[in-house]
Amino acid sequence: MNHANTTTTIDLEVYRYRPELETEPTFDTFTVPLRSDWVILDALNYIKDEIDGTLSYRWSCQMGVCGSCGMMANGEPILTCASFLKNYAPGPIRVEPLANFPVARDLIISMDDFMEKLNRIKPWIIVEEEKPLEEGEYLQTPEQLDEYKQFSMCINCMLCYSACPIYGMEPSFIGPAALALAQRYNLDSRDHGNQQRLDILSTDDGIWQCTFVGECSEVCPENVDPAGAIQQYKVASTNDWWKSKLMPWGNKK
Amino acid sequence: MPHQTSLKTVKRSNEPFWWALFSAGGVIAALCVPVLLFMTGLAIPLGWMDAPGYEAMYTLFENPLSRLVILVIVSLSAFHWAHRFRFTLYDGLHLKHLNAPVAFFCYGCAILFSAYAAYSLYSF
Amino acid sequence: MSYGRYKKNHPWLYHKKPPLLWWVKKWAYVRFILRELTSLGVAFYVVVLLTYVNAVSQGPEAFAVFSDWLKSPLSLGLHGIAFIFVLFHSITWFNLAPKAMVVHLGKKRIPGRIILIMNYSMWFVVTAGFFWLLTTV
Ligand code: SF4
Ligand code: FES
């Protein structure tokens, strides 16, 4: 660490919202050292340590795993621990809380809505009947794992929700990550919750609000491709609908 | 079926019906429309391609199979337009609250157009 | 259901709806709206196509009148714009299709690349087919 050697700096325009002080958000500009190994999160930590200790934001792992440091940088949802300052030089960088969510304070959004939706899609393995312990584990081949692996990489960072204009306009939309996670369990060979989830997700708030803007997949740091998951879900749900209309006697799984 | 009780409370969407027509129309339009539009709307009027004479076109359309193909193309494409345009209005102009009239207008146009197409192609 | 129910217990939450024309600010969103508007190009052409068949059905005079209209600057202009739109529709449609389609061959999943190639070959065959049809009639 040799702060002293730093010659160049970069400005951060940081979104401030302190509900006890103001009813509308404002922006504060902070000048921080432009170090080549610093990410935006380092700059925020520098501001909090050296300039203004009241700045509030979330972070934890600092290595793109926990998914808590998502914010908007110049209008794009990013993980601040994975976005280097130098890529934004000469700046300024406008740092805002994740779009489309209610803001609780400064860069902190309320994620209640996402947590509720996540829960609604039953993100766990549903089995019809538990096997007795003696029968051993629920085994899976590498091919079976490949079927859903991509969708299981989600770190719940909610960047996709910020990129989704549909979610911005219709907060009732279940949204990209939760739908991708539903698909993650649907495609798991050990899971039998397909029909239960389909019943939830083929409602109007489920997949049918999606018009395949596709930006959720563009911003996802884990390449989960929620947009793809939702389209696949539409195909499955459509097949299911036609089956139930054309063959109402056909028994549902 | 242990989940049946909870099922009662959710309303399944009828969206799959329209979405299926939208998708089928999307495929048909993607495959057929560029080449047809280019030939009849640009290449022939501009003289880049020889204009097929009236007799030739008449013989072509006299064949019920070609009229059937045209009916499939125009009506599925119309439903493709209806569904997509409906959502363009919702998304582009925040019109979700006008769901019923917008849907009625879009699908209504597609249905009327398809009926007209079927009638006029049948009575060629 | 909206954020209303959260705001009830947390009145300090700050939330704003996106502006009416939310899509003008970002190229990716503009492109999305343009992609959705390609349906207008499709709609325009199917009306023209049906009119074309009807003109043939009505006899040589009607056909000549319609052929003349097709040569008018208005028609050429509309067709020119519509052509760009329908091309954009085809390209985006074929490019996005592999995301929606998961096709298995036996136990193996067919990679998206192959589906893409299949889509474009099909497009080529259909295009060539119609071209052949109209040049040989
Ligand atoms: S799908 Fe991607 S962008 Fe969305 S929450 Fe999961 S990791 Fe983040
Ligand atoms: S701090 Fe954990 S993902 Fe950025």
ipTM: 0.89
Q: How confident is the model at residue C3 (pLDDT cuts 50, 70, 90)?
A: low
Record: contact A110-C14, CB cut-off 8 A: no
Look at ligand 2, atom 3, and give the residue with the nearest C-alpha.
Answer: A64
Listed range (B6-20, B58-72, B110-124, C16-30) with the worst mean pLDDT = B6-20
Q: Give a yes or no: residue C14 inside a domain.
A: no
Same domain, C106 and C124: yes
Report whether residue A58 contacts ligand 2, using a CB cutoff of 6 Å.
no
Same domain, C89 and C113: no
Record: contact A202-B16, CB cut-off 8 A: yes
- Average pLDDT for C12-39: 92
- Average pLDDT for B35-60: 92
Q: Give a yes or no: residue C6 inside a domain.
A: no
Provide the pLDDT for residue B10: 54
Return the SS3 of B92: helix
Distance A64 CA to ligand 2 centre (A): 4
**pLDDT tens-digit readout, B71-88:** 999 999 999 999 999 999
DSSP string, A63-97: SSSS---EEEETTEEEEGGG-BGGGGTT--EEEEP
Please give the tally of structural domains in chain C: 2
Q: Give a yes or no: residue C33 inside a domain.
A: yes
Provide the pLDDT for residue B3: 40
Distance CA A138, CA A191 (A): 10
For the domain that residue C90 is a member of, what is the CATH number? 1.20.1300.10
Distance CA C72, CA C88 (A): 24
CA dihedral C77, C79, C84, C90 (to 10 degrees): 170
Subunits in contact with chain B (3 or more CB pairs closer than 8 Å): A, C
- Average pLDDT for C98-125: 87
Q: Name residues whose C-beta falls within 8 Å of residue A124's C-beta, 6 or more positions apart in sequence.
A: A185
B19 has pLDDT over 50 = yes
Same domain, C94 and C114: no
Chain C residues whose beta carbon lies within 8 Å of the beta carbon of residue B61: 53, 56-57
CA distance readout (Å), A21 to A13, A103, B31 = 19, 14, 59
CB A179 within 8 A of CB A203: no
Top mean pLDDT of B13-27, B29-43, C110-124 is at: B29-43
**pLDDT tens-digit readout, A30-85:** 999 999 999 999 999 999 999 999 999 999 999 999 999 999 999 999 999 999 99
C78, HSE (Cβ side, Cα atoms, 13 Å): 16
DSSP string, chain A: --GGG---EEEEEEEE--TTT-SS-EEEEEEEE--TT-BHHHHHHHIIIII-TT-------SSSSS---EEEETTEEEEGGG-BGGGGTT--EEEEPPTTS-EEETTEEP-HHHHHHHHHT--S---SSPPPGGG------HHHHHHHHGGGG-----HHHHH-HHHHH-TTS--HHHHHHHHHHHT-TT---HHHHHHHHTSTTTGGG-----HHHHH-TT---HHHHHHHHHHHHHHHHHHHHH-TTSPP-
Provide the pLDDT for residue A71: 98
Q: Does C95 touch chain B (CB under 8 A)?
A: no
Chain B residues whose beta carbon lies within 8 Å of the beta carbon of residue C58: none
Return the SS3 of B46: coil
Hey, which residues does A11 pair with through a beta bridge?
A31
Q: Which domains does chain B have, with CATH numbers?
A: 19-122 (1.20.1300.10)
Q: Does B15 touch chain A (CB under 8 A)?
A: yes
Q: Which of A199, A208, A211 sits opposite B7 (nearest CB)?
A: A199
Q: Ligand 1 pocket: which of A80, A156, A210, A225 to mutate (most atoms <8 Å of CB)? A: A156
Report whether residue A158 contacts ligand 1, using a CB cutoff of 6 Å.
yes
Assigned token pair, C9 = 């217990």
Same domain, C66 and C30: yes
Ligand nearest to the CA of A60: 2
C137 has pLDDT over 80 = no
C107 has pLDDT over 90 = no
Candidates A34, A4, B54, B70; CA nearest to C137 is B54
Same domain, C58 and C118: no
Distance A153 CA to ligand 1 centre (A): 8
Hey, which residues does A39 pair with through a beta bridge?
A84
Q: Which domains does chain A have, with CATH numbers?
A: 3-109 (3.10.20.30), 112-246 (1.10.1060.10)
Same domain, C41 and C84: yes
Dihedrals φ, ψ of A103, to 5°? -95, 130
Report whether residue A154 contacts ligand 1, using a CB cutoff of 6 Å.
yes
CB B42 within 8 A of CB B48: yes
Distance A226 CA to ligand 1 centre (A): 8
Q: Looking at ligand 1, which atom is closest to the CA of residue A223?
A: 2
* Residue from C32, C42, C131 to probe the interface with B (highest B Cβ count within 10 Å): C42
B62, HSE (Cβ side, Cα atoms, 13 Å): 8
Same domain, C65 and C123: no
Hey, which residues does C104 pair with through a beta bridge?
C109
Chain A residues whose beta carbon lies within 8 Å of the beta carbon of residue C12: 19-20, 104
- For chain B, the average pLDDT equals 89
Q: Which amino acid is at C110?
A: I
- For chain C, the average pLDDT equals 90
Report whether residue A59 contacts ligand 2, using a CB cutoff of 6 Å.
yes
CB < 8 Å from C in window 43-102 of B: 44-46, 49-52, 54, 56-61, 67, 70, 73-74, 77-78, 80-81, 84-85, 87-88, 91-94
Same domain, C41 and C83: yes
- Average pLDDT for B94-123: 92
Would you tell me how many other CB atoms lie within 10 Å of the CB of residue A162? 26
Same domain, C109 and C75: no
Would you tell me how many other CB atoms lie within 10 Å of the CB of residue C6? 18
Q: Give a yes or no: residue C3 inside a domain.
A: no
Record: contact A171-C3, CB cut-off 8 A: yes
Chain C residues whose beta carbon lies within 8 Å of the beta carbon of residue A151: none
Q: Give a yes or no: residue C64 inside a domain.
A: yes
Same domain, C29 and C94: yes
Assigned token pair, A94 = 């406008």
Distance CA A251, CA A199 (A): 15
Q: How confident is the model at residue C128 (pLDDT cuts 50, 70, 90)?
A: very high
CA distance readout (Å), B105 to A193, B26, B95, B116 = 38, 20, 13, 16
Record: contact A203-B11, CB cut-off 8 A: yes
Record: contact B16-A241, CB cut-off 8 A: yes
Report whether residue A155 contacts ligand 1, using a CB cutoff of 6 Å.
yes
Q: How confident is the model at residue B95 (pLDDT cuts 50, 70, 90)?
A: confident
pLDDT tens, per residue, chain A with 253 residues: 445 444 699 999 999 999 999 999 999 999 999 999 999 999 999 999 999 999 999 999 999 999 999 999 999 999 999 999 999 988 899 999 999 999 999 999 999 999 999 999 999 999 888 888 888 888 999 989 998 999 999 999 999 999 999 999 999 999 999 999 999 999 999 999 988 898 888 888 889 999 999 999 999 999 999 999 999 999 988 988 888 888 777 655 4
Q: Give a yes or no: residue C73 inside a domain.
A: yes
Q: Looking at ligand 2, which atom is closest to the CA of residue A60?
A: 1
Record: contact A165-B20, CB cut-off 8 A: no
Chain C residues whose beta carbon lies within 8 Å of the beta carbon of residue A17: 14
Distance CA A44, CA A30 (A): 9
Return the SS3 of B10: coil
Record: contact C14-A102, CB cut-off 8 A: yes
Same domain, C48 and C69: yes
Residue C75's domain spans which residues?
Answer: 23-100
Distance CA B121, CA B1 (A): 49
Q: Give a yes or no: residue C37 inside a domain.
A: yes
Same domain, C133 and C83: no
